[in-house]
Structure 1
């Protein structure tokens, strides 16, 4: 429902203000991106009910709106909305009413909607879907206003480097954001994670294909984005020549997702961490040993890694063959496969 158009200027402003509030509060980029989209549906519903001032909103309106969501069909796949999707709307409504109270826009009590029952599961992409994301970075260049062909090609190379880091090297969002060019040892094909979780450092091997993407970006295209500055950050925003933050990288990933044109892939609510989940799952499906995956991801214990055995549908005792993390290059996507 992202194509809904709000006619009420105050509602459009409210949606943007809610998004900025989430960002200031420090919520994850995926939350900042998705929750306002869900709230747009509520505001659109209110317009249709001739409720054009947010001060008229009450709990009964929200309950009636949620009932329409439960009865609404899934526009892409048919049937109703999944319980997981409904829960995301409930989360959005809770955060939105909290926002209204916190900023003094409306004194409204906490909503009393119960979460729908769901199975906890990790979202990950298939190898084929990862291939589609890489292919999206090769689409024909369409120069835009104030963005020339060379800059656009540099952005595409940066997108490939982004996938190489978050999928190919399995980095967490903050780890990838914090990377500097000097953290990549191109001679030894190793990436130095200096700002890991709980301040732990680790060395991550880089596959031949991903090293190629990083090399091309750093040496052939990144100078186009730095514009002569001495920026150390790996991922540079072309408009500011400053370090890209998680929200900006997340938006680039979402752009690639939509550019694939695959409706099933577009339907998935993915983020940078989805790429990390994906490589871990693919390793396990390929038979890599849990201990090796755990070291690769920087987990402090095997318990954190064992969640992927349920995702991949593989008994823990059968995830044994790969004994050396350096053998992982044969699992990753090759240039020919892309």
Structure 2
């Protein structure tokens, strides 16, 4: 085999390949971080070329990920994060093998850790949602903006990045629909805004947004500098309103997304509709909300389970003779 370029050079070629195949900017950014982390870790152990990467090295890397602890919090990496790191490295090694830079793929038999089946993060009750929405000061342009943001996140269940990317032309005021362009997986979808959210959005566009515009832009939600929001800034904004409302549940923008799905499911929405609204590619991603929504299960249980019927007991459970013996 001819002389192999440095890993960083091959990494650059790999990302050119991904870009040609229309991988999203966010995915490229995450993979760049993960792969540079792996290359740096390998270099610290004397691995300077991709031909030196072996299955034993990958097994050692997996052990390192398992034992890694965050320097600030002391917490380990979640198993889903470990699996993501390893699968990213494996994809790169598979590409290197396909391109002929390595003779065999050392990740072929790499076993990924089993991911946890976690419930979604906390969701808000209807009363908590109303308290959150009512906490906004509506006398300022930023207040009108913030009310519209909260209303739209709650009404549509859209992701934080999707709301940030909304343009003026993405809202159909007559039909009350919002076009989410290039959402996760680079897929477009149309979602209903709901009457109330649309009214607050219209009020913000008419009375609030003109005071925030610094230059010509089609972005709907603007900061005080007239720019689009940074994702972290938007999360901090939503979190500040949750705190002001006395809500201590962990979460921010994504908690409103969970709230939308959970309350709709409790209200009788079917999973397919929620899947379409949230933009989930697979239905099993949406099905996790069935573990959170207990209201309908309780109703069915009360209607169908013999033990839940309000029947006169055969014997009085409070009488000593009927109590179980110890």
Q: What TM-score, normalized by structure 1, do the two folds share?
A: 0.53
How big is each residue's C-alpha offset from its partner over 1:71-103, in whole Å with a ceiling of 9 and x where there is no partner?
Answer: 323445546433222211222122221343455
2:192 maps to 1:203? yes
Partner Cα distance (2:29, 2:146) in 1:
19
Aligned equivalent of 1:31: 27
Measured after TM superposition, the shift of residue 205 of structure 1 is 0.2
Among 260, 268, 278, the alignment partner of 1:289 is: 268
2:36 maps to 1:49? no
Partner Cα distance (2:8, 2:147) in 1:
34
Q: Is the 8 A contact 2:120 2:289 kept in 1?
A: no
How big is each residue's C-alpha offset from its partner over 1:247-281, in whole Å with a ceiling of 9 and x where there is no partner?
Answer: xx8xx3245447869xxxxx99x9x9886444213
Partner Cα distance (1:193, 1:61) in 2:
46
Cα pair distance change 1:77/1:113, threshold 3 Å: farther
Aligned equivalent of 2:292: 311
Unaligned runs of 5+ in 1: 1-9, 139-152, 262-266, 320-338
Number of residues of Structure 1 aligned to a counterpart in Structure 2: 269
Aligned equivalent of 2:169: 181
Measured after TM superposition, the shift of residue 19 of structure 1 is 5.2
Partner Cα distance (2:270, 2:155) in 1:
18
Considering only aligned residues, what root-mean-square deviation do their CA atoms show, in Å?
5.6
Partner Cα distance (2:26, 2:32) in 1:
11
Aligned equivalent of 1:330: none
Equivalent residue of 1:290, what SS? coil
2:200 maps to 1:212? yes
Q: What TM-score, normalized by structure 2, do the two folds share?
A: 0.55
Among 176, 179, 197, the alignment partner of 1:190 is: 176
Q: Is the 8 A contact 2:155 2:194 kept in 1?
A: no
Measured after TM superposition, the shift of residue 118 of structure 1 is 2.9
Aligned equivalent of 1:169: 156
Aligned equivalent of 1:120: 117
Partner Cα distance (1:15, 1:254) in 2:
28
Q: Is the 8 A contact 1:194 1:200 kept in 2?
A: yes
Q: Is the 8 A contact 2:123 2:256 kept in 1?
A: no
Measured after TM superposition, the shift of residue 42 of structure 1 is 1.1
Partner Cα distance (2:161, 2:235) in 1:
21
2:231 maps to 1:253? yes
